[in-house]
Chains A and B, each alone.
Chain A
Amino acid sequence: MADSNSNAMIKVQHVYKRYGSVHALEDLSLEVLQGAVYGLIGPNGAGKTTLLRILSALISPTSGQVWLDNEEVTQSPTAIRRKVGYMPDFFGVYPDLTSAEYLEFYAGISGVARRNLASSIKDLLELVNLSEKRDAPVETLSRGMKQRLCLARALIHDPRILLLDEPASGLDPGARVEFRELLRTLQGMGKTIVVSSHILLDLAEMCSHIAIIRAGKLVIEGDVEHVIRALGGAQRIEVRVLERAEEAIQTLKDMPEISSVSLERDDENGQVIHAEFTGNDLALHHILAALLAKNVLVVSFAPLKAVERLEEVYMNIMEGVPSL
């Protein structure tokens, strides 16, 4: 195996995938650490689903190598399928079956031992909070319930790696929160999870690492903070003041740690100022002290969370900011 992080559960090395003249993936390399929740971000057609299908041994790369838990995907697809639970971006359910029968079927074709079947199904239905729907036909389940049932299906053979393609798409906010909690539980169980999504806020909150893919190429990967710093440059702070906004803006502009300042909003709750900032916590303290010294009525003063900036970074990339 090529030299790389020995703790990596998934290694993708210089993978190309072509469909005729279409280049779905081009020289894509990335690593997913064991126990990580790894987010794949990219617009439609970026190659996220192609990558997940390669990882689940459903298709082979045109060239390059993919290793899952020290096994090469194209060399041992059967062994890979035992280790991977794949949840595609569609439900793929049989409406005539009940929830328990649906799981029983997939347990059967995944080689789960018959003696463990009943307890596995019971535990999984409990995990995804569908115990009450055990004998309900799948067609009567709501979209969120079907999504959770599909996740239970992907878990039926207790895989070490979970590949989730757009798992939160089409879910209402409540169901999305439930789903996010479920992924946290699975992470706590030691599963390595790769999840693709368009809902950036969800990804940023649930993922330890993210990769941004555009036109089959990896733009950047790493932990969320690292990606934002690398692409967005300076950190951003938000200052809400009740009055004397002009003086506050001038004070901020005079600070050496501040690179740019803008008035974002001006409403009945006061004025909101955003400023690009490079520095440490002590520098932040100095900036706040300077504002208070000028008698600016500061209501709130805080650096923006990384997740709140992810969407902006993503949009920059999609609008053509050169890849790093």
Chain B
Amino acid sequence: MTFSALLTKELRSRLRRERSIWLIIAYLCVLGLLGFVFLLRANAFSGGSRVYLLSQTGAQLYALLSLVQLAWVVFIAPAFTATSVNGEKERQTYDLLLCSKLSAFSLLTGKLIAGLANVLLLIVASIPLFSLVFFFGGVAPAQVFAMLLICVMTAIVAGTFGLFCSTLFQRPNVSTAIAYGFCVLWMFAYWVVYYLISSGTPPGNPHAIAWVQGLNAWNPIAALNSVVSGGQGVVTNFTFFRWHLAPWLAFTLISLVVAILLFLLSSAFVKPNTPGRFLAWMRLRSKRMKPSTA
């Protein structure tokens, strides 16, 4: 009851705002316009083998729309969650939530789901546009499904990190800036590290940069590249103990673990005076331990 009440309130508040509708409209317009311009250009350069070109056009259109979708998700998800808890403090409604029967878990779950609902709405709204690529061929439904999964997992990680920042920092603008900083780092850390390592490594020493490839296992762009290219991209399968995981699957599993960890950390920080509560717990624990050791 407490959780559903919070979720209902959050969805009412968020979806009632005009900007939510405008955001979806703007997103679909940008995505549609990009696709339209791309098709115009592809048509202008067409000639020769028409069948080959159509399937190639479909694959390229799919790659373009997927990349735009991923960028949009990374841009939007933190915005919806990075102010969710400290925004309540700023609005001076946080104390009132603490006075209720709302648990830390319910509070965070409600905030996260409501924040992600906006992002998921964008992803779902874009599905008809993505279905256009099937007219041209060159893209399997499984590829579209994997791309959607990567976008959803990216949204969950970015959203959970935003939520974590909103519990950790008092000021909403600080938590928003840090959440965006994390997302940029997450997207581009691999290439920065790769450049730094490879520039200082003598040629012909592949082992020195092999570990850097491991960073790709949790990189949304690398995962998307592997899906878009049908497994022929820059990233190949990852080996985890005895299992060989496709990049999109490795990305999904790692993202799930990271999101759970971030959520648990947020639960620890969402209630006030975390260090004080921790010290009280330690004192209580040591009191309980004493009689048994005596």
A residues apposed to B, CB below 8 Å: 53, 56-59, 78, 81-82, 84, 86, 88, 90-94, 96-97, 101, 104-111, 114, 153
Q: Is A114 a contact of B1 with CB atoms below 8 Å?
A: yes
Task: Give chain B residues whose Cβ lies under 8 Å from the Cβ of A153.
Answer: 96
A-B contact pairs, 11 of them (CB 8 A): A56-B99, A58-B95, A59-B272, A59-B273, A86-B95, A88-B96, A92-B92, A92-B96, A96-B16, A108-B6, A109-B5
Task: Give chain B residues whose Cβ lies under 8 Å from the Cβ of A104.
Answer: 5
Task: Give chain B residues whose Cβ lies under 8 Å from the Cβ of A93.
Answer: 93
Interchain nearest-CB distance for A135 vs B (Å): 13
Q: Does B199 touch A at the CB level, under 8 Å?
A: no
Q: Does B249 touch A at the CB level, under 8 Å?
A: no
Q: Does B98 touch A at the CB level, under 8 Å?
A: yes
Q: Is A109 a contact of B6 with CB atoms below 8 Å?
A: yes
Q: Is A97 a contact of B92 with CB atoms below 8 Å?
A: no
3 shortest A-B CB distances, which residue pairs? A108-B5, A109-B100, A105-B9
| Complex Cα spacing A169 to B95, Å | 19
Q: Mark B30-64, 1 if CB is under 8 A from A, else 0.
A: 00000000000000000000000000000000000
Size of B's binding interface in residues, CB under 8 A: 24
Secondary structure dominating the interface of B = helix
Interchain nearest-CB distance for B106 vs A (Å): 8
Task: Give chain A residues whose Cβ lies under 8 Å from the Cβ of B2.
Answer: 108-109, 111
Given contacts A58-B95, A109-B101, contact A94 B1 (CB under 8 A): no
Interchain nearest-CB distance for A123 vs B (Å): 19
Task: Give chain A residues whose Cβ lies under 8 Å from the Cβ of B95.
Answer: 53, 58, 86, 88, 92
Interchain nearest-CB distance for B39 vs A (Å): 40
Q: Is A97 a contact of B96 with CB atoms below 8 Å?
A: no
Q: Which positions 126-154 of chain B face chain A at CB distance < 8 Å? A: none
Interchain nearest-CB distance for A139 vs B (Å): 12
Interchain nearest-CB distance for B272 vs A (Å): 8
Pick from A57, A58, A107: contact of B5, CB below 8 A: A107
| Complex Cα spacing A104 to B12, Å | 12
Q: Is A94 a contact of B9 with CB atoms below 8 Å?
A: yes
Q: Is A110 a contact of B92 with CB atoms below 8 Å?
A: no
Task: Give chain B residues whose Cβ lies under 8 Å from the Cβ of A94.
Answer: 9, 13, 91, 93
| Complex Cα spacing A97 to B273, Å | 30
| Complex Cα spacing A271 to B271, Å | 62
Task: Give chain B residues whose Cβ lies under 8 Å from the Cβ of A107.
Answer: 5
Q: Does B258 touch A at the CB level, under 8 Å?
A: no
Interchain nearest-CB distance for A265 vs B (Å): 44
| Complex Cα spacing A84 to B100, Å | 10
